[in-house]
Chain A
Amino acid sequence: MTSRQETFAKVADQIEPFNKKQVPLTDATSFAGDLEWDSLTVMDFVAAVEDEFDILITMNMQAEIETIGQLVDTIEKLSKPA
């Protein structure tokens, strides 16, 4: 498993408790459109992801992230040791 695949799997685990409709998860799955999350769900989820990866996803970054693939890429970038 590549690092990106591992990250995707961890993100999928974090999505599970919020995936009420059991939407299948791919890179293209969107949070607002496919998962139909409201802003409060997004906030809880982001906090969970931040704690899982020990990173910060600022609200400025969140505004640019629409799909799971974009989130995984962002996490990959943020998790790389500086």
Chain B
Amino acid sequence: MTDASQTPDSVALTDVLPNPTPRDLLSKFDGLIAERQALLDTGVRDPFAIVMEEVLSPTLAIIKGRKTILLGTYNYMGMTFDPDVVAAGKYALDKFGAGTTGSRVLNGTYQGHRECEDALREFYDMESAIVFSTGYQANLGVISTLCAKGDYIILDADSHASIYDGCWLGNAEVVRFRHNSVEDLDKRLGRLPVEAGKLVVLEGVYSMLGDIAPLKEMVAVAKKHGAMILCDEAHGMGFFGEHGRGVFEEAGVADDIDFVVGTFSKSVGTVGGFCVSNHPKFEVMRLVTRPYVFTASLPPSVVATAAASIRKLMHAGDKREHLWKNSRRLHQGLRDLGYTLGTPTAQSAIIAVMMPDQAITVATWQALLERGLYVNMARPPATPAGTFLLRCSLCAEHTDEQVTEILATFAAAGRATGVIPQA
């Protein structure tokens, strides 16, 4: 028997229901809206609303009519305008059309998707490669599918949002360890049930500060406790290790990593994500990974550009060297100017310039932009430990002259806002 059956017919619904005005679900963001407005009211440009009016090269764009050096694109290897890559995309666009309009498991796997996965298997020298529509979806899909109820995911506290979201999408138990702490990882693994399924999730390069993980030590600890290991090489692919596979290759632990996740939106220069593995049962993931099954596959032109780019990255030794040279030079130059950086030396192609607070971060960011230099502004909660920073990412196509200009711009902007001492 329900309550409704006992309600007299004479009582209308409007008499018993409270005010029917719906509660505004967006009101939970009022604080953020006010904070953003207060910032914009000080006269600064919105750091999260930049429009690239024209893109001239991997390192140059027109922003508000001004020619601007790009130092915040993750376009590490400068493949976006590579003539072979662009030609491959144009050919596929003409031959296969604008999009697949379908899932990888239905009508969305074209010849190009297979060729792209072949290129990845060769690049990584692994048995299996699965291409996803974005790097975010690769982490979301692989992590949530590998780890079910009763399994444990052990992740670094500074992990990327896609790793955290992959944890929430599944039903596994999630355990965090302090950033890059081998001891903390060891302790936490030691407290887990011996027989439970365990996945340790690591990143080669952590993108906010540009620091790298002590993979050799971490992998040894994870193996000691019988855990499987997933390593995200989003910011390491292309220029770490002998074949440019990532930090795990340079650390000499390739044989101990069970799954490598990566993206096409950084060194590869387009968009998409992937996971490669030598696990004999890995191919079953195509049937059970929801972010792989329930979304449209990448357009033919995108997988064609990715495959062409990956094959060129296998033989990009000169570019790698120039990228490392750029990174070391910028790191040294910024330190010489008096900036505080996220790492003591250049550990990757990301250089994080530490800032004292939001006001001076935005002011310096704008001073750089007005002088023709674009960098990323990053703030909590994206940043670790509540820090504000200006994040620079170098490109192999930045010329020596551009690096000189970048340093001169940092000198002028930093002195104008007082974040570094006067000359």
Contacts and interface: CB of A to CB of B under 8 A. Distances in A.
Interface of A: 38-40, 43, 46-47, 50-51, 54-56, 58-60
A56 to B, nearest CB: 5
A60 B178 CA distance: 17
Contact of B173 (A54, A55, A60): A60
A59 B385 contact: no
Given A38-B386, A40-B386, A51-B187, A58 B175 contact: yes
B315 interface: no
B290 to A, nearest CB: 20
B337 to A, nearest CB: 29
A47 B181 CA distance: 12
Nearest to B384: A40
B173 A43 contact: no
B184 interface: yes
A43 B176 contact: yes
B379 to A, nearest CB: 13
Interface string B250-288: 000000000000000000000000000000000000000
B105 interface: no
Contacts of B23: none
A47 B188 CA distance: 10
| The 10 nearest A-B residue pairs measured at CB | A59-B174, A58-B173, A56-B191, A58-B175, A60-B173, A56-B175, A58-B174, A40-B386, A43-B157, A47-B178
Nearest to B164: A59
Interface in B169-191: 173-178, 184, 187-188, 191
B8 interface: no
B192 interface: yes
Contacts of A50: 188, 191
A55 B191 CA distance: 6
A17 to B, nearest CB: 16
B195 to A, nearest CB: 13
24 contacts: A38-B386, A40-B384, A40-B385, A40-B386, A43-B157, A43-B176, A46-B176, A47-B176, A47-B177, A47-B184, A50-B188, A50-B191, A51-B187, A54-B191, A56-B175, A56-B188, A56-B191, A56-B192, A58-B152, A58-B173, A58-B174, A59-B167, A59-B174, A59-B175
A40 B382 CA distance: 11
Nearest to B192: A56
Contacts of B167: 59
Interface string B351-391: 00000000000000000000000000000110011100000
Interface in B65-113: none
Contact of A59 (B176, B178, B380, B381): B176
A43 B191 CA distance: 18
Nearest to A41: B386
Contacts of B184: 47
Nearest to B173: A58
Nearest to B386: A40
Contacts of A46: 176
A55, A56, A60 interface centre (most CB from chain B within 10 Å): A56
B354 to A, nearest CB: 16
A59 B157 CA distance: 11
Contacts of A55: 191
Contacts of A54: 191
Name, among B167, B191, B192, B385, the residue most crowded by chain A CB atoms within 10 Å (CB to CB).
B191
From B175, B188, B386, residue with most partner A Cβ within 10 Å: B175
Given A39-B381, A55-B191, A60 B174 contact: yes
Nearest to B193: A82
Interface string B203-215: 0000000000000
A20 B386 CA distance: 17
Contacts of A59: 167, 174-176
A38 B380 CA distance: 11
Interface string B142-186: 000000000010000100000000010000011111100000100
B60 to A, nearest CB: 37
A51 B337 CA distance: 41
Contacts of A39: 381
Nearest to B152: A58
Contacts of B380: 40
B312 to A, nearest CB: 41
Given A58-B173, A59-B174, 9 more contacts: A40-B385, A40-B386, A50-B188, A56-B188, A56-B191, A56-B192, A58-B174, A59-B176, A60-B174
A58 B184 CA distance: 14
A43 B384 CA distance: 11
